[in-house]
């Protein structure tokens, strides 16, 4: 039986081990490529892989769990074991990871008193129920039971959020209650300001740090913190940030390979490392998170992270620079890559059908009528779009039209004509006028997009985490009542009825069909489109937005099939092309 212990250093089977790890998120990669990415990690010289487990992916609806297909983290971990890789697992309720709501499930927000990452009974009960199911899968994978998991994390960067040690102990105790038997750790920023509130060093729990620069200084900070608390343990950077994530409208972030590999060397001279990210992957579907910089700042579909592998798994110059450094500390194994991955230029694909959202609305969603506007969560909707619709009466000009409690992006239509698009967090105080042109029965429609919940910082618990219209719609001096609600999570894109007609300059579904005789990775070029999301054979590839920095969506080959394939693009700005190009190269904004 293998053993793993934390003393003054890490010990595997009573021998010191230098942990050289890389982060790979199974949920950002199609499962057919898990082995390829893990083989490339081993070929770098790493002996360990680290991954999070996002709660909202596995329990998207309360009490309904999914650990199959792309959610089968057990299969991912067993592949790592087959490759003689150890595993660091981070199954904490909150993960950050630039993932929607930091991995917390949206249904928590149905409780108006909810306080996440706290001792609030409703939150701890939800974690308890989740862990009860989750740990059935984790327990056999621990090294104490013959598996590859060496250690697990209690909370993630809690020192950047709170200092409630009782809460940290509650999470620790829930993990132990449900079967955790391996050593536990915390990870926080590498200064006393983060380590003091975020760790359980007083309980003998190993503190680790997350940083991307000034590595020697940061590790010395942890060492000083340990000494001040009479704690003896190894020094580890649990997240060595070798790149960074991207937000829509920003520049694509890159970091110099020589500079970051020098930092790696500084870490390995005195401690242990987990490179974040070894391979970033893709924020498929609507799972991207958002930063908060005076307003919601959503992150891109690509989670390239300027990692050692590209979004599509190619080895980079930074990979080779890291390999050179790692070879100073361990032997680099010979690894034969077993997955044949090719890129294919499928060329131009022609439009076959199109239908306006307004025409197929009733096939996508069951109408809900309420006196007041309801947010998504009250309608058991987690992601996507929601459309509010109401008859606002006779012809007139509203001097003050306001949306109250709208924190994302709203498109306002009158009689299906787009009037304007708003991004403000709250429309109170915004003197926006609105013309109602028809003599009678003017129909107001408001399409709100959930851009992604905030994944980090104080805004994690702000009211903006609830999506849709939370306050209501004001027409001059009063709130208008009686709205139709249409939830558009787009979980089954087959419900779109393309026979129902098209109207220019409205949100529209566009269908492109093509035949494939050979399977390979490709890139959908979305130049000429405005904003929306793309589906391949009913799988949500993610969002696009013409503000960049990317103008492509990566389409992994395993999502295609021999024969007929169907791409559906939902576009909200009225911009589209009669053909799209499936290229063997990605396209970035110029």
H/E/C letters for each residue in 355-383? EEHHHHHHHHCCCEEECCCCEHHHHCCCC
pLDDT in the model for residue 388: 98
239 is catalytic: yes
pLDDT in the model for residue 590: 62
pTM: 0.97
Question: pLDDT > 70: what percent of the chain?
Answer: 98
The residue with tokens 């200064």 is: 191
Indicate if 372-481 has the same CATH topology as 347-355+497-583.
yes
Q: How far is CA 407 from CA 25, 156, 360, in A?
A: 29, 26, 26
Q: What's the CA gap between 391 and 385, in Å, rounded?
A: 20
Q: Where do the H-state alpha helices sit in 63-162?
A: 73-82, 121-138
Task: List CB contacts of 427: < 8 A, sequence separation 6 or more.
Answer: 401, 402, 403, 404, 406, 474
Question: Which whole number is the average pLDDT over 101-117?
Answer: 96
pLDDT tens, 402-452?
998 898 999 999 999 999 999 865 454 566 899 999 999 999 999 999 999
Is the pLDDT assigned to residue 13 strictly greater than 60?
yes
Put residue 395 in one of left, alpha, beta given phi > 0 → left and psi -120 to 50 → alpha.
Answer: beta
pLDDT tens, 521-565?
999 999 999 999 999 999 999 999 999 999 999 999 999 999 999
pLDDT tens, 477-521?
899 999 999 999 999 999 999 999 999 999 999 999 999 999 999
Q: What's the CA gap between 205 and 158, in Å, rounded?
A: 14
To which CATH superfamily is domain 347-355+497-583 assigned? Galactose-binding domain-like (2.60.120.260)
Annotated active-site residue in 155, 239, 263, 449: 239
Q: What's the CA gap between 576 and 518, in Å, rounded?
A: 27
Confidence of residue 351 (pLDDT cuts 50, 70, 90): very high
Question: Which whole number is the average pLDDT over 200-204?
Answer: 97
Question: Which whole number is the average pLDDT over 281-293?
Answer: 95
Q: Where are the beta strands (DSSP E) in 15-83?
A: 15-16, 20-24, 48-52
259 is catalytic: no
Q: How far apart are the first and last CA of the chain?
A: 56
Annotated active-site residue in 50, 59, 155, 157: 157
pLDDT in the model for residue 588: 84
To which CATH superfamily is domain 4-326 assigned? Glycosidases (3.20.20.80)
3-state SS string for 448-476: EECCCCECCCHHHHCHHHCCEEEEEEEEC
Is the pLDDT assigned to residue 205 strictly greater than 60?
yes
pLDDT in the model for residue 233: 97
Q: Domain extents for the chain?
A: 4-326, 347-355+497-583, 372-481
Nearest residue to 304 via CA among 8, 19, 28: 28
Fold of 372-481: Jelly Rolls (2.60.120)
Q: What's the CA gap between 518 and 495, in Å, rounded?
A: 28
Nearest residue to 510 via CA among 493, 525, 527: 493
Task: List CB contacts of 98: < 8 A, sequence separation 6 or more.
Answer: 245, 283, 288, 289, 299, 303, 455
Confidence of residue 462 (pLDDT cuts 50, 70, 90): confident
Question: pLDDT > 90: what percent of the chain?
Answer: 94
Q: Where do the H-state alpha helices sit in 156-304?
A: 165-177, 192-198, 215-228, 257-270
The residue with tokens 């969002």 is: 543
């Amino acid at each position: 039986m293998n053993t793993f212990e934390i003393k003054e250093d890490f010990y595997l089977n009573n021998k010191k081990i230098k942990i050289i790890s890389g982060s790979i998120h199974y949920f950002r990669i199609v499962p057919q490529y898990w082995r390829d990415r893990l083989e490339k990690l081993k070929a770098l010289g790493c002996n360990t892989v680290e991954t999070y487990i996002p709660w909202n992916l596995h329990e998207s609806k309360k009490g309904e769990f999914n650990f199959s297909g792309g959610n089968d983290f057990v299969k991912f971990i067993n592949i790592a074991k087959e490759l003689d890789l150890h595993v660091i697992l981070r199954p904490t309720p909150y993960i950050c990871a630039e993932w929607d709501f930091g991995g917390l499930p949206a249904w928590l927000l149905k409780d108006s008193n909810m306080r996440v990452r706290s001792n609030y009974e409703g939150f701890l009960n939800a974690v308890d129920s989740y862990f009860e199911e989750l740990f059935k899968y984790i327990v056999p994978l621990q090294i104490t039971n013959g598996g590859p998991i060496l250690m697990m994390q209690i909370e993630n960067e809690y020192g950047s959020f709170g200092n409630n040690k009782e809460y940290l102990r509650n999470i620790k105790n829930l993990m132990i209650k449900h079967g955790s038997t391996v050593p536990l750790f915390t990870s926080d920023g590498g200064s006393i300001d983060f380590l003091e509130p975020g760790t359980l060093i007083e309980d003998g729990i190993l503190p680790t740090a997350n940083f991307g620069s000034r590595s020697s200084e940061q590790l010395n900070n942890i060492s000083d913190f340990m000494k001040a608390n009479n704690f003896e343990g190894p020094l580890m950077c649990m997240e060595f940030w070798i790149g960074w994530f991207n937000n829509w409208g920003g520049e694509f972030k890159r970091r110099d390979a020589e500079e970051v590999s020098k930092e790696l060397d500084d870490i390995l001279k005195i401690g242990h490392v987990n490179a974040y990210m070894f391979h970033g992957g893709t924020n498929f579907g609507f799972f991207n998170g958002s930063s908060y910089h005076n307003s919601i700042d959503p992150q891109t579909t690509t989670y390239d992270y300027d990692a050692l592998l590209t979004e599509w798994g190619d080895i980079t110059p930074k990979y080779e620079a890291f390999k050179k450094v790692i070879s100073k500390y361990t032997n680099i194994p010979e690894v034969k890559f077993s997955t044949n991955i090719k890129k294919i230029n499928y060329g131009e694909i022609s439009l076959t059908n199109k239908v306006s959202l307004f025409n197929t609305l009733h096939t996508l969603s069951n109408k809900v009528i309420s006196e007041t506007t309801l947010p998504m969560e009250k309608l058991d909707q987690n992601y996507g779009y929601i459309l509010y619709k109401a008859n606002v009466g006779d012809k007139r000009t509203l001097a003050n039209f306001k949306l109250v409690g709208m924190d994302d992006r709203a498109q306002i239509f009158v009689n299906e004509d787009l009037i304007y698009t708003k991004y403000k967090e709250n429309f109170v105080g915004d003197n926006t006028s609105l013309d109602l042109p028809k003599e009678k029965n003017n129909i107001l429609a408001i399409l709100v997009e959930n851009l992604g919940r905030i994944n980090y910082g104080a805004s994690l618990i702000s009211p903006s985490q609830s999506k849709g219209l939370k306050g209501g719609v004001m027409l001059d001096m009063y709130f208008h009542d009686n709205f139709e609600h249409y939830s558009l999570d787009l979980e089954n894109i087959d419900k779109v009825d393309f026979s129902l007609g098209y109207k220019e300059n409205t949100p529209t579904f566009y269908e492109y069909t093509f035949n494939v005789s050979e399977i390979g990775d490709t890139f959908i070029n979305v130049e000429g489109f405005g904003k929306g999301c793309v589906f391949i054979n009913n799988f949500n590839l993610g969002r696009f937005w013409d503000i960049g920095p990317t103008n492509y969506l990566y389409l992994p080959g395993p999502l295609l099939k021999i024969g007929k394939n169907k791409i559906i693009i939902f576009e909200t700005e009225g911009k589209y092309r009669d053909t799209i190009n499936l290229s063997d190269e990605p396209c970035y904004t110029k």
